[in-house]
Amino acid sequence: MDLLTPELGLFFWTLLAFLAVFFILKKFAWGIILKSLTERETGIAESIAAADRVRKEMSELKNENEKLMAQAREERTAMLKEAKDTRDRIVNEAKDAAKAEANKIVADANQQIQQQKMAAMTEVKNEIGKLAVEVAEKILRQQLSGVDAQSAYAELISENAKLN
């Protein structure tokens, strides 16, 4: 039972030691502890505010990126449509020109000998081949320029994303 009930002297000295340590800590350490806790609380609040700002900026950047991507898709679609229309127009003009030239050659060929007829047909085929190569070259240049522009834009976006 003696272990459970301390003597009055032990209780007094324990209380005196506790109060001495308490007052020393209160005088020298309490202010520093409160100051560091306040600084930490302020730092955490600032970090949360900064994270919210960054989250909002990222959301705005994402929305802007989506708008730019939609605009780029629309421009790409318009460019492809324009290229297709140009290709069709050039092909039709080439066909019309080729038909007119063929009719002229046929009319002349009827008046000339068989050998001149064969030479004229070879010349028409070469002309059509050159026109087809030129048309294909123009179409490929337009389509490739669109892809290059899209690649350059994708690189610009990735560089900006790395900076943020």
Taking the C-alpha atoms of residue 46 and residue 104, their distance in angstroms, rounded to an integer, is 85
What residue spans define the domains of the chain? 8-163
Does pTM top 0.85 for this prediction? no
> How confident is the model at residue 139, as a pLDDT?
53
Of the candidates 18, 4, 146, the residue with the CA atom closest to the CA atom of residue 82: 146
Q: What amino acid is encoded at 44 in this protein?
A: I
List per-residue pLDDT tens for the chain, 164 residues long: 566 777 888 889 999 999 999 999 989 888 898 999 999 999 999 999 999 999 999 999 999 999 999 999 999 999 999 999 999 999 999 899 989 988 887 777 667 767 776 786 798 888 888 877 776 565 545 444 566 666 765 566 667 665 54
Largest CA distance in the chain: 143
How many angstroms separate the Cα of 131 from the Cα of each of 15, 79, 122? 107, 22, 14
How many angstroms separate the Cα of 95 from the Cα of each of 4, 124, 132, 136? 114, 11, 10, 15
